[in-house]
Amino acid sequence: MKNKKSNFSEWYSEITKEAGLCDLRYRVKGFVVFMPWSVISMKKMYEIYERELERTGHLPAWFPALIPESNFQKESQHVEGFTPQVFWVERAGDNVLEERLAMRPTSETAIYQMYSLWIQGKGDLPLKVYHPSQVWRYETKATRPFIRSREFYWIESHNAFASREEAEAQVREDMQMAQNVIFEQFGVPFIFFERPQWDKFPGALSTFAADTLMPDGRVLQLPSTHLLGQNFAKAFDVAFLNEKGEREYCWQTCYGPCISRIYAAMISVHGDDAGLVLPYSLAPLQVVVVPIPKKGSERAIEKKAKQVEAALISAGIRAKADFSQNTPGFKYNYWEMKGVPFRIEVGEKEAREGDLTVVRRDSKKRHAVKERELLHFIQKEAALMLADMKKKALSEFEGRMAKATSMEALASALEKGCLVAVPLCSIEMEGRNCAEEIKDKTAGDVRGIRFDKKEHAQANCIACGKKANVLVYVARQY
Ligand SMILES: [Zn+2]
């Protein structure tokens, strides 16, 4: 494998190919085939995320992939923001359709038409629905598998409330959910930023988006949650009768955890120069048993390896013994590259004495474990492994936080792959020129202000020199 730190881009291309995560040979540009080794993990990520959505009162629904153009055009900022990215269906069989249909790039305009029918009175609120799906966007930026492609896999949740306060509380719940899932269970650190007004979701009042740092120092946007206000409610007539019998527009939010992109962040943050390092709960294969043949003891070794494999499987662990013709050394490297969390070596001594050698993928540390304690050991060690992976990822993330008060210092910190705090006059529209100046001079993008803690700028705006009202974070982005 390539060195991940010094040559991340090539490391990433190599691992997605070698580990069998995707196949890029599909004949539509920007579209990839997602392969079993990634899909098994992404299905688990879906399960974990959906469980959390349901725990917080969301119900699942499946909406159509096609959206009538007239729906799509109802919210003016939305149509302006998304139109350049839409794939259109114009024909069906031999017929030219009377109305063009958009392949959903996101589903607000599919879902809110239905919400206007479903919501009548206050008793219909809050309405919290999620929709696991794939969406299509004609991306013009360079595509990379899992990071950005023209078809991607995500979950959308769309919520409607009677008041602004409830909608704001939902936005906070969405952010907490990202913390509970993406950091606590997948081990990927991030920060939620309130995006500048010029970079918010088209049609929203405000956007809060999680940024993680990839090993090359560029940020990757993970879920974003949007306070839509009443903009879409007015466009789609999503309203309820209040106690006084008057019609009031709903307050809405939407939230979009992109599973394929979270997967990209997860493999990038945890991987090392030997390949993938997968959290135990997400690994397609959790334990691999490698027999180490020795002349005269082949039968005993094979028997022990099969016994161990069977014990693991019957305990519900995804395990397999590798009896292929390759050498043990080859098998170690192969399964390390695939990110299998535990390897159990069964040689002559192990077959005879009933002590097993267990090797952890992340630390490569070897443990002698009594066979009867194996299941307990795996369970306990899997939790420790996740804790260690989180600690390591967080310390790398925090080691890349920097501050700058001049363009020169900002440019040099960005060059080192940092997420840099700088004073800016404003994240309202009047700050846009200053953000553009930052982009021109340093190739850095203004990501917004931290949501998790209040911070004040101590210096003047890095671009125009006027009083800075906010401390923003700047990074190079994917
Ligand atoms: Zn300024």
Mark which of 270, 295, 322 sits at the end of a domain. 270
Residues 254 and 302 in one domain: no
Taking the centre of ligand 1 as the mean of its atom positions, its distance from the CA of residue 429, in whole angstroms, is 11
In a domain, 407, yes or no: yes
CATH code of the domain containing 363: 3.40.50.800
DSSP string, 196-261: PGGGS-TT-SEEEEEEEE-TTSEEEEEEEEEEEETHHHHHHT-EEE-TTS-EEEPEEEEE--BHHH
Residues 175 and 235 in one domain: yes
Rounded CA-CA distance 254/57 in Å is 14
Residues 59 and 111 in one domain: yes
Residues 260 and 298 in one domain: no
Q: What value does the mean pLDDT take over residues 266-274?
A: 98
Looking at the chain, the whole-number percentage of residues with pLDDT higher than 90 is 91
Of 52, 320, 299, 28, nearest to 174 by C-alpha is 52
Taking the centre of ligand 1 as the mean of its atom positions, its distance from the CA of residue 258, in whole angstroms, is 33
Span 126-148, pLDDT tens digits: 999 999 999 999 998 888 999 99
In a domain, 394, yes or no: no
Taking the centre of ligand 1 as the mean of its atom positions, its distance from the CA of residue 412, in whole angstroms, is 20
Residues 258 and 292 in one domain: no
Residues 340 and 452 in one domain: no
Question: What global pTM score does this model have?
Answer: 0.96
Residues 206 and 299 in one domain: no
Taking the centre of ligand 1 as the mean of its atom positions, its distance from the CA of residue 424, in whole angstroms, is 5
Question: Using CB atoms within 10 A of its CB, is residue 142 exposed (0-12), middle (13-18) or buried (19+)?
Answer: exposed
Structural domain range at position 139: 8-270
In a domain, 338, yes or no: yes
Taking the centre of ligand 1 as the mean of its atom positions, its distance from the CA of residue 403, in whole angstroms, is 17
Q: Is the pLDDT of residue 255 over 90?
A: yes
Average pLDDT, the chain: 96
The answer to whether 156 and 256 are in contact (CB under 8 A) is yes
Higher-pLDDT residue of 164 and 349 is 164
Determine the pLDDT at residue 457. 85
Rounded CA-CA distance 333/321 in Å is 15
Span 417-460, pLDDT tens digits: 999 999 999 999 999 999 999 999 999 999 999 998 888 888 99
In a domain, 389, yes or no: no
In a domain, 247, yes or no: yes
Taking the centre of ligand 1 as the mean of its atom positions, its distance from the CA of residue 224, in whole angstroms, is 26
In a domain, 43, yes or no: yes
Give the confidence band of 39 by pLDDT, cuts at 50, 70, 90.
very high
In a domain, 280, yes or no: no
Token pair listed for 267: 């493999």
Distances (CA, A) of 452 to 192, 193, 194: 7, 8, 10
Taking the centre of ligand 1 as the mean of its atom positions, its distance from the CA of residue 464, in whole angstroms, is 4
Residues 125 and 21 in one domain: yes
Least confident among 57-71, 72-86, 370-384, 390-404:
72-86
Token pair listed for 29: 């540009």
Residues 230 and 378 in one domain: no
Taking the centre of ligand 1 as the mean of its atom positions, its distance from the CA of residue 427, in whole angstroms, is 9
Taking the centre of ligand 1 as the mean of its atom positions, its distance from the CA of residue 461, in whole angstroms, is 5
Higher-pLDDT residue of 237 and 456 is 237
The answer to whether 318 and 340 are in contact (CB under 8 A) is no
Determine the pLDDT at residue 40. 98
Give the confidence band of 210 by pLDDT, cuts at 50, 70, 90.
very high
Of 134, 164, 159, 162, nearest to 149 by C-alpha is 134
In a domain, 412, yes or no: yes
Taking the centre of ligand 1 as the mean of its atom positions, its distance from the CA of residue 460, in whole angstroms, is 8
CATH code of the domain containing 425: 3.30.110.30
Taking the centre of ligand 1 as the mean of its atom positions, its distance from the CA of residue 477, in whole angstroms, is 21
Residues 300 and 212 in one domain: no
Q: How far is CA 22 from the centre of its chain?
A: 17
Taking the centre of ligand 1 as the mean of its atom positions, its distance from the CA of residue 422, in whole angstroms, is 11
Q: Total structural domains in the chain?
A: 3
The answer to whether 432 and 472 are in contact (CB under 8 A) is no
The answer to whether 32 and 22 are in contact (CB under 8 A) is yes
Taking the centre of ligand 1 as the mean of its atom positions, its distance from the CA of residue 463, in whole angstroms, is 5
Residues 73 and 144 in one domain: yes
Tallying the residues shown for the chain, one arrives at 478
Residues 111 and 32 in one domain: yes
